[in-house]
Amino acid sequence: MQIWNNLPVLVCLGAVLLPCLVYLWLGLGERILARLGAGTARVLRPWFWLSLPLAVVALVLVYPLVVTIWLALRNNRSTEWVGLRNFQWAFSGEMIQVMGNSLLWLVALPLGTIVLSLVAAVLFDRVKYEKLAITIILLPTAISFTAASIIWRQLYSYQPADAPQVALLNAIWMGLGASEPVAWLQTPVLNSICLIVVALWASVGVATLIVSAGVKNVPAELREAALIDGAGEWRIFFLITLPQIVPAILVVLTTSAVFALKVFDIVYIMTNGQYGTDVVANRMYSELFTANNAARASAIAVLLLIAAIPIALANLRLWERVGK
Amino acid sequence: MTGHLKALRQELKGGRLALHAIVLVLCALWFTPIAGLVASSLRSQSEMGISGWWQIFVDPKVTLDNYARAIGYVGVLNAAGTSLALAIPVTILTTLLSAIGAYALVRLEPPRARLFAAALVVLLVLPPQVTVVPLLKLFVAIGLNGKVPAVWLYQVGFTIPYGVFLIRGFLISIPEEIFESAVIDGANPLQIFTAIVIPLCAPILAALAILQFLWSWNDLLIPLIFLGGGTLAPPITVQAAGIATSNGQDEPVLMAATCLSVALPLIILVSLQRYFVRGIVSGSVKG
């Protein structure tokens, strides 16, 4: 088993040997297809080429999807059917607050993301240093949510009222003349908002890119014509820019809604769900590993799946409308 | 007419000031946490206890001691090694398999290609949590749990829908004639794939590769679930998360370790931003 701990060997295996095997597989298949009749080869070829990507996707996404639903309807040891009992649990007791928090994320994160990315995309478009501004707002996208959480946890920390506040936010807060520091991450509801701010910081960059691409596609003549007709900036934004970038806005909304559903790292590191900040995706992890209850974890997973369905349908509609 | 425009320009000038102010404030807000991270990683534990990181700009007492400890005691470089052993194969395999899938969908005309494409759009929004429990059971059963290939498999499979979707949009726009002339020259599909598709799609393949490298390097949940119990050094995100969530944490060392963990992705983003932007934008709006 030494090979599993030898990093250079692993990299060679995964980055060189496996791609070579994929190439050999394709070469072998084409050899066989060449010997078959042209008609048969024509029918079989797409399936042969799709075989590897389909096999991996089927194993990693489709098979577990089905089994998760099965597990969610059975008891923890998966020895008997329990109907909807795991789902009853998911909507009772302390889980109600967890659900509520996820709902808060699901509303606040897409809303905050779309407002900030609209502001950034429209305003950056008007300044000469746009490239630099975009780079800066993109920097957090390269950083892991783990690192983002570590950075922000420090910014949010607090010292007793008589000690110097060494964290930025409370230093500013006390500098403004407050007598008590704010326990940002320990005060319910405020702390959930604070976690959402971290997610915003990490994801507005990508949203800005998407909205910005839409804004740049708005024909300049439309804007100029409206300006000459005497329309103000606000009117131009609402009557000309906004209708033209609806697809980009929908993409940002669906992307950040999915992000809100699956947010794990930020909650796990900043509070680990304490002080009333838990969300379903983090709860699923603790059910699986701390409580060792795969059935309840699966029930949560199924709820995530159900919540993702309308988002998927919205994406599908959008994709069909934009064409291709 | 010109007078009208002049008045308009005058009016806009007042707005310019507000415009620059808002843009600069946004940039400052977005940059400050990163500056705070770097500054904190350069200050000693005793300094950190009595003043905030911004003090470093007033009274620059800089130490590299945190980095020495992050590398020496915590073993950040080993963790980075594991992260690379995850991210490099995952990046190459994802790009290759996505290119193969996109080529098959666009050029080899499978029946119901549109249905496949629609399935990709649906799979794009799947939260990873939905699929981890059965896979964990499966990996435990076949002895793959705690081993690097378990993470390869998951991360590759999870990104293939995005990758195929991205490359598909690019492939569709390549003129038919290029492929037709290759067929007339007697090239078989594998030759067309390696000699035409891969080189022509290089820009979008690079975009996908960069996105996937960043996602793999930055992923916490998947290695946390599938590498637990292994004997390997944890990847860099799992290690940082471990320090951050343990009691009696060493804040300055955590800051140095975090700084080291974000250095590579930041360098990649800044130097290859063009590809990053292309990967995001063409993966979202066009389709």
- Give the pLDDT of residue B287: 36
Kindly tell me if the per-residue pLDDT of A28 is higher than 60. Answer: yes
Q: Is the CA virtual torsion B246, A153, A113, B32 positive or negative? A: negative
> Are B82 and B215 contained in the same domain?
yes
Mean pLDDT across the stretch B73-86?
Answer: 92
> What SS3 class is residue A93?
coil
Cβ contact B121–A64 (<8 Å): no
Residue ending a domain, choose from B63, B94, B116: B63
> What is the reported pLDDT for A324?
47
Check residue A163 and give left, alpha or beta (phi > 0: left; psi -120 to 50: alpha): beta
Q: Does A264 map to a domain?
A: yes
| B12 pLDDT above the threshold of 90 | no
Q: Are residues B56 and B102 in the same domain?
A: no
For residue B220, tell me if it sits in a domain.
yes
Band (pLDDT 50/70/90 cuts) for residue B286 is very low
Q: Tokens standing for B49?
A: 């206890």
For residues A28 and A150, membership in a common domain is answered with no
- Give a yes or no: residue A78 inside a domain: no
Assess contact for B239 and B74: CB atoms under 8 A: yes
**For residue A59, what is the DSSP state?**
I
In a domain, A250, yes or no: yes
How many other C-beta atoms can be found within 10 angstroms of the C-beta atom of residue A129?
Answer: 14
Yes or no: say if A153 and A169 are a contact pair by the CB < 8 Å rule.
Answer: no
pLDDT of residue B95: 97
Q: How confident is the model at residue B9 (pLDDT cuts 50, 70, 90)?
A: low
**pLDDT score, position B255:** 93
Q: Where are the alpha helices (DSSP H) in chain B?
A: 2-41, 45-50, 55-58, 65-69, 76-107, 113-123, 129-142, 148-172, 176-184, 189-192, 198-200, 202-218, 221-226, 236-245, 251-271, 273-281
Chain A contact set for B251 (CB, 8 A): 154
Rounded to an integer, what distance in angstroms lies between the CA atom of residue A194 and that of residue A153? 10
- Stretch B251-259: mean pLDDT: 92
What CATH number did the domain enclosing B205 receive?
1.10.3720.10
Cβ–Cβ < 8 Å for A282, A264: yes
With pLDDT > 70 as the criterion, what percentage of chain B qualifies?
A: 93
Q: Which residues contact A63 (CB under 8 A, 6 or more apart)?
A: B134
- List, for residues A235-281, the tens digit of each pLDDT value: 888 888 898 899 899 999 999 999 999 999 999 999 988 899 999 99
Residue given tokens 């001691």 in the structure block: B65
Q: Which of B93, B125, B132 to mutate to test the interface with A (most CBs of A within 10 A)?
A: B125
The C-alpha R_g of chain B, in whole angstroms, comes to: 25
Residue B89, min C-alpha distance to chain A (Å): 4
pLDDT given at position B11: 62
| Chain B CB within 8 Å of residue A306 CB | no
Residues 6+ apart with CB under 8 A from B258: A146, A147, A150, A151, B37, B41, B240
Residues B46 and B77 in one domain: no
Residue A1's pLDDT band, with cuts at 50, 70 and 90, is low
Q: Which two tokens stand for residue A115?
A: 């407002």
Residue B68, domain member (yes or no): no
Q: What percent of chain A has pLDDT over 70?
A: 99
**Is residue A225 domain-shared with residue A138, that is, in the same domain?**
yes
Q: Would you list the DSSP string of B12-66? A: HHHHHHHHHHHHHHHHHHHHHHHHHHHHHHTS-HHHHHHS-TTHHHHS-----HH
Spatial CA neighbour of A142 closest among B268, B136, B118: B268
Candidates B215, B179, B197, B258; CA nearest to A141 is B215
Nearest to B33 by CA among B61, B52, B49: B52
- Give yes or no for a contact between A228 and A73, defined as CB atoms under 8 angstroms apart: no
Mean pLDDT taken over chain A:
91
Same domain, A54 and A97: no
d(CA B53, CA B38): 9
Pick the closest to residue A257 from A50, A107, A37, A100 (CA basis).
Answer: A107
Residues 181 to 240 of B: which have CB under 8 A from any A CB? Answer: 188-190, 193, 214, 217-221, 224-225, 228, 230-232, 237, 240
Residue B192 lies in a domain: yes
Residues B167 and B28 in one domain: no
Number of domains in chain A: 2
pLDDT at B2: 58
- Which one of A19, A42, A60 terminates a domain? A60
For residue A30, tell me if it sits in a domain.
yes
Inter-chain CB proximity B33 and A247 less than 8 Å:
no
Instruction: For residue A81, tell me if it sits in a domain.
Output: no
Domain final residue pick, B63, B87, B104: B63
Residue A270 falls within a domain, yes or no? Answer: yes
- What is the per-residue pLDDT across A272-292, written as a single tens digit (0 to 9) for each? 888 999 999 999 999 988 888
Q: Is it the case that residue B263 has pLDDT exceeding 50?
A: yes
- pLDDT-derived band at A323 (thresholds 50, 70, 90) equals low
pLDDT value of residue A55: 96
Amino acid at A321: R
Spell out where B37-171 has E strands. Answer: none
Q: Which domain holds residue A129?
A: 87-322
Which range, A107-116, B133-142, B272-281, has the best average confidence (pLDDT)? A107-116
Do B192 and B234 fall within a single domain? yes
Angle between helix B129-142 and helix A63-72 axes, rounded to 10 deg: 100
Over range A86-91, report the average pLDDT.
91
Same domain, B28 and B167: no
Chain B residues whose CB is inside 8 A of the A53 CB are 97-98, 100-101, 104, 160, 164
The predicted structure's pLDDT at residue B103 = 95
Residue in B133, B171, B266 to test binding to A, most A beta-carbons within 10 Å: B133
Instruction: Give the pLDDT band (50/70/90) at residue B8.
Output: low
Which of these three, A15, A43, A60, is where a domain ends? A60
Of the candidates B104, B127, B189, the beta carbon closest to that of A50 is on B104
Q: Is residue B262 part of a domain?
A: yes
Q: Cβ distance A10 to A3 under 8 Å?
A: yes
Binning pLDDT at 50, 70 and 90, where does residue B73 land?
A: confident
Report helix, strand or coil for A187: coil
Q: Decide if A65 is inside a domain.
A: no
What angle, rounded to 10 degrees, do the helices at B113-123 and B76-107 form?
150
Note the pLDDT of residue A202: 95
pLDDT tens digit sequence for A203-230: 999 999 999 999 988 888 888 888 888 8
Return the closest-CA partner of residue A322 out of A221, A239, A250, A220. A250
Same domain, A9 and A108: no
The answer to whether residues A167 and A240 belong to one domain is yes
Count: domains in chain B:
2
pLDDT of residue B152: 96
pTM for the full model? 0.93
Where in the sequence is the domain holding B198, given as residue range(s)?
73-286
